[in-house]
Chains A and B, each alone.
Chain A
C-alpha cells in the first residue's frame, strides 16, 4: 500500500517522540498519539502525518482514530489543560457552581481558556474533582480532589501548592477481615518485598502447582462472577478460551473504569498494584495466554505510574517474563495500554479495536472474544476486581470462598459509595449485605438530611427508593428487584439533590460517549437528551405525557437494537427514575 501523506512536516519535538516508534506497527497508534500529546499537548497535522509515515497508517484512518478520543485535540491548545469533572458524583457536590465560576473568571470551557468539562474522572469519593495534564519534555499531571474554583484557576494559570499525592480515601483501611482491600492504605504499593511479606505471590505458586485446568476448576467451583457489570461466570470464560486450539491466546485486563460513580478499580490499582499483576499472571497461566494487556483509562495517571513500577519490579524478580518462578515453559508478560477518554472502550470488544489501533467501536457478536478477540485470537477479558478475587480463591480455597456471600453470589464485593454520603469511599462487604447496612457503614446521608434515592450500578444502572434499603446486595436479589449492581456504584442522593439535572446529566453522558456506530444509540441518545431537557425544564413539545411516550419508545429501540451494552443500557437509569422514583408523575404534574 502506497501512502499518500499530507505535505506537512512535524516540529522537531514531535519528530523526536514519534521516531521512537520506528519499526513498529498499527497497534502502536494509540501509544504514539499519547506520546505526541504528552510532549506538546495536542496532535498537529505534521505530527499525525509523521505518525502515519512511521507506523505506515493511512492518514484518514489515523485521523479517524485520533478524533475518537476526547483527551486528544486536533486543534492547537495550551500545554496545560484542566479537565473538570461534571459527572454524577461531582454534580451532586457542587460541580455546576464550580464551572460557573470558571466560566466567569477564565472564560467558557475550551482550548483557549485552558479548562474543559470532563465525564467522570473516577475520583467520586473526593468530589468535586479536576485533573490537570501538562505536556512537556516530562509530561506532568495533577489530581485536584476535592477542589474548588480558586484552585483550578491557580493551577490553570501556573502551578499549585497542593501537597497531597492524590491518594485515594480509604475509610476501611486496615480493618480486619478485608480480603480484596487488605493491603490498600496499609502496605507500600511500590514495594514488591512488602507485597510478598503480606502473602503476595503465594497464589501464583499454588496456581503453578495446580496446573491450568486445576486453576480453572477452582475458579469455576468458587462460582466467581465478573465484577465489571455483566456478571459472567469467570471460570467458564477461562475454560472456553483455554480450549481453543488456535494460538496465541491473549488476556486483557479491563481497567478502563469509566462508568460514572465507579472508582473501585482505581483504588485496587493504586493501593495494591502487585495484586493486579499477580492476578493477571494467574489468569494468563490458566487460559494459556503468553501476553496480557492492561487497558487503563487515560484519566488514571497515578495508577499508571504505580502499575509501571510494579511490572518493572515483577520482571526483575522473574514474576513476569520467561519460565516464571522457575516453572519451565510458562512465559507471560504485560503491556499497559492507556486509554484516551472514551467510555465505550470499556466494552469488551471495543477494547480490542482500541488496542489494535482502530477506532474504539464495539464489534458485532458472535464471534465472541473467547473465539475471536484481540488480533482475531481467543481472548479473555476480565475486570480488575474480578481478577483480584482469584488469589483469594486460590489461597483460601474455593470452598471457603463460596462460604462468603450467598449461594448465587459468592465472595466479597466492592461498592463505590459517593454522592450525599458522610464517608464516601470504596467499601468491601460480602455479597448479601443489605443496601441499608452498606449506607450505614458509610455514615448515611449527612446529618439533617433525608435520603431521596440511590443510584445502583452507575449511569447504566437504576435507581432504588429509600423504602428499599432492605435489598440484599446480590446479583440474584438485584435482578429479582428489577435493578442491577452493575459495577458496584452506590450513588446516594438526599433531599437537597436536584434529581432533574442529575437525569439530564445521565442523558448527556450517553450522548457524549456513544461511539456513533449504530443508529439507535447515535441518534437515540440525542433524542433522549433533548426530551429530558424538555421534560425537566417543563418545556414540552406539546404535552409532557407525549415527551414521556417518546422517551419510552426511543428507550425501547436503544435497548432492543443497539450493537452493544452502551446503547442497550442508555435508558435504564432514566426509566427507573420515571417509574421507580415516580419522576414521570412529578414531571407531568
Chain B
C-alpha cells in the first residue's frame, strides 16, 4: 500500500492560461497548472524530486506584466495571472534555447528533444560549422558509471542530487564559469578518489544521458540495448531493513538496470550502491 499524504485543503487560485480560465491549488507552479489541463511544456532541468534549478530555460512562458519571460517550472501561480505558453515570444525563446543547446551539446540521447525541435522548427546547425561546442571524449574511470560530458547541458540536477537535496556526498560541483562551466570533482580527480559513494542518484536524474550506467553504456555501444525488449518489475530491496523499492529493468532474462520509482515515499527515486548495483548474484546461474 502506498501512503499518500493528503495535507491540508488548499485554496484554489484562478488564472488565465492561453485564454482559458484555470483553477489550481495555491502554491502550484505554472507548469503544474499546464499539466493539470493537459498542456505539455518542454522541460530539461526540472526534476520531479528536486528543487527547480531554473537553468535550462526551455520551459519559459509569457506572463502578462512581466518584463521578461518566466520559468514555468518554478514560478508559482498568482490569482488573476495571465499566462501565454504559445505566444510569439515564448515560441521564439523555446526555439532558440533548443538551438543553442543543440549547437553546443550532443542531444542524441535526450528524450523528446527531437519532437520539440521539429515542433518549433529549431535548426541547431545554423550557427555554422565553426560554432564552439562542448564535445569531448567520454570519461570512464570506474566500473559503474560513464560520464559523457559532451552531452551535458549543465542542468545542475546531478549536483543537487549528490549534494544537500538528497545524497549529501558533495562529490561533484559546477566548476569554471560561463561556457567553460562544467561538472567536476575537486581538481577533476577521478571518481574513485572523490567523495562519490556510487549511489547512482545523479544518473537517475540526468535528463540527457550524459551520465549513464556502465552496463547500459556498453550495451548501447555494442548495439544490444533495446528498450522495447525490456520489462520493468518493481520489488523491494533485500539488503537492509529500509525497504526501498527497486525497479528491475530486464532484457533477455537479464537485469540491465535498476531504478526506483520517483513517487516511492521511501526512496523518492534514490537508492544506495547496494540496491543500485548489487544484483549480479541474481544472475549467477
Task: Write out, one digit per residue, whether chain B residues 142-155 have a CB within 8 A of any chain A CB (1) or not (0).
Answer: 00000000000110
Main secondary structure on A side of the interface with B: helix
Q: Is A559 among interface residues, defined by CB-CB distance under 8 A?
A: yes
Residues 97-137 of B contacting A (Cβ, < 8 Å): 97, 100-101, 103-104, 126-128, 130-132
> Given A74-B187, A523-B101, A524-B100: A556 and B92 within 8 A (CB)?
yes
Task: Write out, one digit per residue, whether chain A residues 538-582 have a CB within 8 A of any chain B CB (1) or not (0).
Answer: 000100000000100110110111110000100000000000000
Q: Is B43 among interface residues, defined by CB-CB distance under 8 A?
A: no
Q: Is B239 among interface residues, defined by CB-CB distance under 8 A?
A: no
**Cβ-defined partner of A60 (8 Å) among B97, B170, B177:** B170
Q: Which residues of A contact B154 (CB under 8 A)?
A: 516-517, 519, 522
**Stretch from B15-23, B55-63, B203-211, B257-265 at the A interface:** B55-63
* B179–A560 CB distance below 8 A: no
The minimal Cβ–Cβ distance linking B110 to chain A, given in whole angstroms, is 13
Residue of A nearest to B92 (CB): A556
Q: Is B173 among interface residues, defined by CB-CB distance under 8 A?
A: yes
Residues 62-78 of B contacting A (Cβ, < 8 Å): 68-69, 71, 74
Task: Write out, one digit per residue, whether chain A residues 25-62 have a CB within 8 A of any chain B CB (1) or not (0).
Answer: 00000000000000000000100100000000011111
* A527–B56 CB distance below 8 A: no
Residue of A nearest to B196 (CB): A4
Q: Which residues of A contact B128 (CB under 8 A)?
A: 530, 541
Q: Is A511 among interface residues, defined by CB-CB distance under 8 A?
A: yes
Residue of B nearest to A553 (CB): B96
**Cβ-defined partner of B97 (8 Å) among A67, A342, A559, A561:** A561
* A364–B54 CB distance below 8 A: yes
A355 to B11, CA, bound (A): 38
Q: Which residues of B contact A45 (CB under 8 A)?
A: 186-187
The minimal Cβ–Cβ distance linking B226 to chain A, given in whole angstroms, is 32
> Given A67-B175, A511-B179, A561-B69: A523 and B104 within 8 A (CB)?
yes
The minimal Cβ–Cβ distance linking B160 to chain A, given in whole angstroms, is 12
* A554–B96 CB distance below 8 A: yes
Q: Is B7 among interface residues, defined by CB-CB distance under 8 A?
A: no
Q: Which residues of A contact B175 (CB under 8 A)?
A: 63-64, 67-68
* A556–B96 CB distance below 8 A: yes
A557 to B189, CA, bound (A): 36
> Given A1-B168, A48-B186, A364-B54: A64 and B97 within 8 A (CB)?
no
* B170–A561 CB distance below 8 A: no
* A523–B103 CB distance below 8 A: yes
* B186–A6 CB distance below 8 A: yes
* A342–B170 CB distance below 8 A: no
Q: Is B29 among interface residues, defined by CB-CB distance under 8 A?
A: no
Task: Write out, one digit per residue, whether chain B residues 81-101 have a CB within 8 A of any chain A CB (1) or not (0).
Answer: 000000001001100110011
Residue of A nearest to B171 (CB): A60
The minimal Cβ–Cβ distance linking A224 to chain B, given in whole angstroms, is 22
Q: Is B184 among interface residues, defined by CB-CB distance under 8 A?
A: yes
**Cβ-defined partner of A553 (8 Å) among B52, B60, B92, B176:** B92
Q: Is A526 among interface residues, defined by CB-CB distance under 8 A?
A: yes
Residue from A3, A342, A359, A516 whose CB has the most chain B CB atoms within 10 Å: A516
> Given A519-B57, A522-B154: A511 and B186 within 8 A (CB)?
no
A541 to B103, CA, bound (A): 15
**Cβ-defined partner of B68 (8 Å) among A63, A514, A560:** A560
A62 to B163, CA, bound (A): 13
Q: Which residues of B contact A64 (CB under 8 A)?
A: 173-175, 184
The minimal Cβ–Cβ distance linking B29 to chain A, given in whole angstroms, is 12
Q: Which residues of A contact B251 (CB under 8 A)?
A: none
Q: Which residues of A contact B163 (CB under 8 A)?
A: 58, 61
Q: Which residues of B contact A568 (CB under 8 A)?
A: 68
> Given A518-B54, A519-B100: A62 and B186 within 8 A (CB)?
yes
Q: Which residues of B contact A526 (CB under 8 A)?
A: 104, 131-132, 179
The minimal Cβ–Cβ distance linking A559 to chain B, given in whole angstroms, is 7
Residue from A60, A64, A563, A568 whose CB has the most chain B CB atoms within 10 Å: A60
A517 to B56, CA, bound (A): 8
**Cβ-defined partner of A527 (8 Å) among B54, B92, B127, B189:** B127
> Given A63-B187, A527-B103: A561 and B177 within 8 A (CB)?
no
Residue of B nearest to A557 (CB): B96
* B186–A557 CB distance below 8 A: no
**Cβ-defined partner of A563 (8 Å) among B54, B130, B172:** B54
**Cβ-defined partner of B177 (8 Å) among A514, A518, A559:** A514
**Cβ-defined partner of B170 (8 Å) among A61, A364, A562:** A61
Residue of B nearest to A344 (CB): B177
**Cβ-defined partner of A561 (8 Å) among B93, B153, B180, B193:** B93
Q: Is B194 among interface residues, defined by CB-CB distance under 8 A?
A: yes
> Given A61-B170, A560-B93: A515 and B177 within 8 A (CB)?
yes
Q: Is A487 among interface residues, defined by CB-CB distance under 8 A?
A: no
* A530–B178 CB distance below 8 A: no
Q: Is B195 among interface residues, defined by CB-CB distance under 8 A?
A: yes
The minimal Cβ–Cβ distance linking B202 to chain A, given in whole angstroms, is 12
Interchain residue pairs A-B with the least CB separation, the first 10: A516-B181, A58-B170, A64-B173, A557-B96, A59-B186, A4-B195, A523-B100, A63-B186, A514-B178, A60-B173
Q: List 5 A-B contacts (CB under 8 A).
A: A61-B170, A359-B174, A364-B52, A520-B100, A530-B128
Query: Which positions in A face B, CB cutoff 8 Å?
Result: 1, 3-4, 6, 45, 48, 58-64, 67-68, 70, 74, 342, 359, 364, 511-520, 522-527, 530, 541, 550, 553-554, 556-557, 559-563, 568
Beyond known contacts A62-B186, A520-B93: 12 more, CB 8 A cutoff: A59-B185, A61-B170, A64-B184, A516-B176, A520-B57, A523-B103, A553-B96, A559-B68, A560-B60, A561-B69, A563-B54, A568-B68
